[in-house]
Structure 1
Amino acid sequence: MATQPTDHPGIDEPVVVTFEQVAKALGTTEALGNLNEAAGRDDRTPPVEKAAIMAGIGNVLEQIRKAEASVGAKVLTTPHDARAARLQSLIASGEAANLKFGPLPSGGREAMFDTDDWFGWASVAWEKLKHLKPHTMIRPQSRKAVPLADVARIAVLGDWGTGLYGAPKIADSVRTDPDPFAMILHLGDVYYSGTEREVNERFLRVWPGRKEAVSRALNSNHEMYSGGDAYFGSTLPAFGQDGSYFAYQNANWTLVGLDVAYIDHAIDDAQVDWLQGILHDAGDRKVVLFSHHQLYSSIESEQGAKLWSHPGFGAILRSKRIFAWYWGHEHRCTVYAGKDSNFGIMGRCIGNSGMPQGRAATIGLPRSADPAFQEADWRQCPAVTVEGNPLPPAMVLEGRNEFIKGEEEKFSPHGYAVLTLDGPHLKEQVKSATGKVIYEKVL
């Protein structure tokens, strides 16, 4: 017997907003008419901006449709589009609409949109479609790196803020790990748009913090889609983190977390100036960067051109001063087999901690023959050149995702990384969502 839709679910049951329900909320004649009326009553927004918003509604809908169609299942998906993500957040919140929620076999509950107050709904939706002024960037108070023990373990989670699928399993694995951590680091993205409610329910409330470890979180595009208010106003205070970028250092290593999301997939001059000081003080230590956005990708078309073309930051990269860089954004786990020739960096993508990632681009790749990649289904991407940057071959994690129920074969596995600094050595491990080591190497 089918389960009937219910009232708003508890916070233990994250909400999934599908294209079908967004189309009901925004794509009907009644919805568009009321949005036009809400726009007409808005005397604070210039007419040109109003016209652009209304003209762009079709694109918002199409972006959400394409994101869902690309994976072929009713799971949590969202495009890289601020207005679309904010609209999904609004529907998921149940604000200004009579919503019911039906269970999804794959996980979470689907928001079932309905309303008898179209103008009330449209008035709230209109505000979400307008341009948001971002929260003021909060920078670190010190220009010095924080001391770090010479032996230290760091858990790295990327794109984890869904509350669904493998994300809760990863949290359990980190919490129950028998060995201590010095840091638990999130590479960013709380879905759909990092609102206060989403940050509290999908992130802070379920974050696998431990007493002996500091928690740190990097800024991301999805948190900035809602202006960054919850990231700067809730996440940073909850973690005791005084800025959206930071540095830690011991006798052999300097670890730097960057904010390359406040300006989307780019870096600002003041942060580069701060980084230059950190690198000067690092001396001959090896430097490892962490960020949300990638420097490059062997699979996706999105590249970090705005990063390597920044005069100051590009000079740092081309100096080959950076030893390794861990990023997310792309919802895969990818280990590049060597240093890229332009920047001398060992790149790693750890973006597979919570968002569903379709397998179409990786399922046909050949299995890796490298002995280090035999504990799971790792596939080899060939060496490629992207925008003038020759990239080495890359190993990408493939296989089914056992935590997306009923759709296991469509999505690649979730997991996370653990880095262990031990004197001059860095041991990197990739773990499955349940904590099994599926790749390990000492760099």
Structure 2
Amino acid sequence: MSTEALPENVFVTFEQISKAIGSPEALGNLDEAANKDTSIDPVQRGAIMAGVGHVLRQLQEAESRAGAKVLTTPHDAKAARLQSLVASGEAAKLSFQALPTGGYEAMFDTSDWGGWASVVWEKLKHLVPHDMVRPKSDHAAPFADKARIAVVGDWGTGLYGAPKIAEAILKDPDPFEIIMHLGDVYYSGTRAEVDSRFLKTWPRPRGAICRALNSNHEMYSGGDAYFDRILPSFGQDGSYFAYQNAHWTLIGLDVAYHDHAIDDEQVGWVLEVVRKAGDRKIVLFSHHQLYSNIESEQGDKLWSHARFGELLGSKRIFAWYWGHEHRCTIYEAPDQNFGIWARCIGHGGMPQSRDLTIDLPRATGAPYARADWRSCGPLTVLGNPLPSAVVLEGRNEFIVGEEDKFSPHGYAVLTFDGPHLEEEVRSATGVAIYSKRLA
């Protein structure tokens, strides 16, 4: 198959990446391309070349954790950009092998190692990010006092449960006012990936507002496609935003432009939105988590920011929905330090190994009877006591042939009715598997 007709949902395994950048031909030509580059000094060139081994290890470890031929990618910008490059067919010859789990494995080859190495070298160099696009106003846009919002995270794969979620949202008989993505289009949010894995199949029910949060994977390619394609497509004027009705203020944050952190100008905007909210309850949405009771990565850069940390410590924030981890986790009470009802809704389409959750004890009680929920006991993370939580477990029926290795995909529905908020977690096919009235 020629690269002029690339199939959709192409992904790249470690074996093919290793061939593309780790073989003797690749490394020799890459070293030659580096030595020809006079735009950076020899120390920088040496550091980039030395980092090739790290990139390969990151990719190999990510695939090893999955334990199957599925879409995988590490939290590493260079690795993600190289996966995007191979999958694009640029400067290479590709053939494709359909996999029973879904999608096509890109089989790499080239007869022009010098040309290929020049393109790879550019992907390994430091990338200048797109300028952040900020909202034009700190006045929250209105939303109805009675409204439903669909929240989906880490959805941009085009595979597995992701298209099922889009279908379920479109078929829902009750209208949505907002459809929100918590971020991540894989591998690195390039223009081609944004078009084929996100915009082409994103659910757009009639009358619904679409909003998308920035994420680390969109920023791995510099954020160009996020800022120049997703935001205009959604009619969204900035990477952070706010909505407000008589009882609630909803704030979407950009904590990815500066990785897992928030900048001073945005914090000033948030504080002004909160000031104008009066006594309304505040709900935050972001890609990265404030904390995690499963993974080691924590949001300490968020709560250690002086002014933002002061806001959190004031216990002014009622609830926070985030993604980044490819799981669904419901914290069963507000945390002690910040008083936040916290939820991870990052299980929209990326395969997540069950290794860390399959042996957890089953959660008991009526809210957890409709699915396989597991209990995580309370613990303290970086001095922050976290409440107990439940995490969605079970098999993923949409990763064909490897169903038992990966946890389910799904999304959340938030129903605002005057001062009340009802939250639901739904399966990828739209079946409610958890519900709770938070207010």
Shorter-chain TM-score category?
Answer: over 0.9
Separation in 2 of the partners of 1:62 and 1:69?
Answer: 10
2:143 to 130, 145, 148: 148
Q: Secondary structure at the match of 2:237?
A: coil
Matched to 1:389, the amino acid is N
Which one is further off, 11-20 or 379-388?
A: 11-20
Q: Deviations over 1:35-74 (max 9, x none)?
A: 0111112111222211111000000000000000011101
Is residue 299 of structure 1 aligned with residue 300 of structure 2? no
Q: TM-score, normalised by structure 2?
A: 0.99
Alignment of 1:249-398 (within 5 A): 249-398=244-393
Kept after mapping to 1: 8 A contact 2:255/2:262: yes
Residue in 2 that maps onto 1:236? 231
Q: Deviations over 1:72-126 (max 9, x none)?
A: 1010000000000000000000000011111111110000001110011111011
Separation in 1 of the partners of 2:72 and 2:426?
Answer: 24
1:187 to 182, 186, 194: 182
Separation in 1 of the partners of 2:48 and 2:95?
Answer: 28
Separation in 2 of the partners of 1:320 and 1:52?
Answer: 44
Task: Measure how far apart 1:13 and its partner are.
Answer: 3.0
Q: Secondary structure at the match of 2:395?
A: coil
Kept after mapping to 2: 8 A contact 1:420/1:428: yes
1:338–1:10 CA distance, 2 compared to 1 (3 A): farther
Kept after mapping to 2: 8 A contact 1:11/1:201: no
Separation in 1 of the partners of 2:363 and 2:7?
Answer: 38
Residue in 2 that maps onto 1:139? 134
Residue in 1 that maps onto 2:420? 425
Q: Secondary structure at the match of 2:339?
A: coil
Identity %, equivalent residues? 69
Kept after mapping to 2: 8 A contact 1:7/1:100: yes
Separation in 1 of the partners of 2:284 and 2:365?
Answer: 25
2:97 to 96, 99, 102: 102
Task: Measure how far apart 1:211 and its partner are.
Answer: 2.2
Q: TM-score, normalised by structure 1?
A: 0.98
Q: Secondary structure at the match of 1:429?
A: strand
Task: Measure how far apart 1:370 and its partner are.
Answer: 2.4
Task: Measure how far apart 1:11 and its partner are.
Answer: 6.7
Q: Secondary structure at the match of 2:189?
A: coil
Kept after mapping to 1: 8 A contact 2:183/2:212: yes
* Uncovered stretches (5+) of structure 1, i.e. residues with no partner: 1-5
Separation in 2 of the partners of 1:149 and 1:362?
Answer: 38
Kept after mapping to 2: 8 A contact 1:219/1:292: yes
Aligned residue pair count? 438
Residue in 2 that maps onto 1:77? 72
Matched to 2:405, the amino acid is K
Task: Measure how far apart 1:235 and its partner are.
Answer: 0.4
2:205 to 162, 185, 210: 210
Q: Deviations over 1:310-333 (max 9, x none)?
A: 000000000000000000000000
Is residue 55 of structure 1 aligned with residue 55 of structure 2? no
1:116–1:9 CA distance, 2 compared to 1 (3 A): closer
Q: Secondary structure at the match of 2:200?
A: helix
Q: Deviations over 1:341-369 (max 9, x none)?
A: 00000100000000000001000011111
Residue in 1 that maps onto 2:167? 172
Task: Measure how far apart 1:12 and its partner are.
Answer: 6.3
Q: Deviations over 1:281-327 (max 9, x none)?
A: 10110000000000000000000000000000000000000000000
Kept after mapping to 1: 8 A contact 2:247/2:281: yes
Q: Secondary structure at the match of 2:210?
A: strand
1:262–1:206 CA distance, 2 compared to 1 (3 A): same
Matched to 2:393, the amino acid is E
Residue in 1 that maps onto 2:25? 30
Kept after mapping to 2: 8 A contact 1:154/1:183: yes
Kept after mapping to 2: 8 A contact 1:333/1:396: yes
Alignment of 1:400-439 (within 5 A): 400-439=395-434
1:96–1:26 CA distance, 2 compared to 1 (3 A): same
1:12–1:22 CA distance, 2 compared to 1 (3 A): closer
Separation in 2 of the partners of 1:247 and 1:319?
Answer: 20
* CA-atom RMSD in angstroms: 0.9
Residue in 2 that maps onto 1:3? none
Matched to 2:337, the amino acid is N
Q: Deviations over 1:113-161 (max 9, x none)?
A: 0111001111101101110000000000011100111001000010000
Kept after mapping to 1: 8 A contact 2:7/2:104: no
Which one is further off, 12-21 or 277-286?
A: 12-21
Q: Deviations over 1:395-431 (max 9, x none)?
A: 1000000000000000000000000100000010000
Q: Secondary structure at the match of 1:167?
A: helix
